[in-house]
Amino acid sequence: MNRVYLQTRAKPWELREPPQRLLAIRLQAIGDVVITLPYLQALRDSLPGVEIDLLTREEAAGVPDGVALFRQVYRLGGGRSTKRQLLHALRWLPALRGRRYDAVLDLQNNRVSRLVRQGLRPAAWSEFDRYAPVSAGERTRRTIDAAGFPLARVEARLTLKEPEAGTPLLRQAGWDADRDLIILSPAAFCPSRNWPLENYAAFARLWQQRHDAQFAILGLPAMQPQAEALAESLGGCLLDLVGKTTAAQALAIVQRARLVLTEDCGLMHFAWVSGIPTLALFGSSPHVWSAPQGSHSRCLHSGDLPCGACMQLECRFGDTRCLTRYTPEFVVAQAEELLRQTEGTERLIYAEERRGSL
């Protein structure tokens, strides 16, 4: 495979002593922020003594605040308005300057993040390539590399400040800790990315015939119709946690799962960055950018079709054929094979000796 060269602007670290204070900036949606976490964890592991802070949007701060990685998570207000974000960034600049960061990793690369990076004038910095046809995780790794901090190994591992954060909610919902927990996440935001709900129900019934398991659905309140439809089909074997968790609680619950069956959504990223076997169903999404990473993940995508990764909200043919071709029986077989392959193995996202396959 030909290597894709990213257009990463950077001023690498050239001093003999390692940096002491580093700021990472990622302002986009929560799933995009979560993708950066295992790479930043690997960076901290490779630089003993470094303090890493994160600047992110207020709406995406829940998960990074809940992991034992950052000295501080700075919350940028302003919602989705670039103008308001710029104003909030200007308010944060004096406090950020006071930290005297040695390096800034701009993992966003937009007007707001560039303003912050240029205002801090660090000794080393790098900017994320937003457009290369490479996974967001790999672009994150290469951005860190370009700043002068190569990562030989990235594990799918996140340590939570409160690993039991979601346990009370699971118990209230009827969780049986002696049974496998399978999370179903029909949470993609548009019809062209949705595997039919009746297929999720059929998958669960087939799985129950072969394995002792409970199923859970969790996410934003907007998913309540999906939860109600699945509860009607699956009855008491479905734990309905939709709208009941914080982001940090949702991550803690995902980390208890045996398997996550998911569409392209934030919860998918919660799973694979945590080393949980993740089977993703991608319709119109471009899997080259967004598919889960690591040998513990598998993506059934549309890239083999002439109309694949169309990015349209609705299927031009009216049948979302890129997803409906995957039957519940086929998905069960894929999930079982994934679990067999990952049993007892390291959950690695990247290792230097494997870079030829990227």
Span 10-151: which CATH code?
3.40.50.2000
pTM of the entire structure? Answer: 0.94
Point out which residues pair with 155 in neighbouring strands.
Answer: 348
Span 167-345: which CATH code?
3.40.50.2000
DSSP string, 130-193: SSSSS-HHHHHHHHHHHTT---SEEES---BS-TTTTHHHHHHTT--TTSEEEEEE---SSGGG
For 145-157, what is the mean pLDDT?
A: 97
Residue 354 reports pLDDT greater than 70: no
The tens digit of pLDDT for each residue in 51-100 reads 999 999 999 999 999 999 999 999 999 999 999 999 999 999 999 999 99
The tens digit of pLDDT for each residue in 91-102 reads 999 999 999 999
- Confidence at residue 353, expressed as pLDDT on a 0 to 100 scale: 72
Computed from CA positions of residues 135, 140, 143, 145, in that sequence, does the dihedral angle turn out positive or negative? negative
DSSP string, 29-66: -HHHHHHHHHHHHHHHHHSTT-EEEEEEEGGG-HHHHH
Structure tokens at 356: 């030829």
- Confidence at residue 6, expressed as pLDDT on a 0 to 100 scale: 59
Residue 355 reports pLDDT greater than 60: no
| Per-domain boundaries in the chain | 10-151, 167-345
What is the C-alpha to C-alpha distance for residues 23 and 36, in angstroms, rounded to an integer? 13
DSSP 3-state assignment of 78? Answer: coil
Q: What is the DSSP letter of 13?
A: -
Residue 34 reports pLDDT greater than 80: yes
What is the chain's length?
A: 358
What is the C-alpha to C-alpha distance for residues 250 and 266, in angstroms, rounded to an integer? 11
Structure tokens at 105: 């990793």
- Confidence at residue 1, expressed as pLDDT on a 0 to 100 scale: 33
| 167-345 and 10-151 share a CATH fold | yes
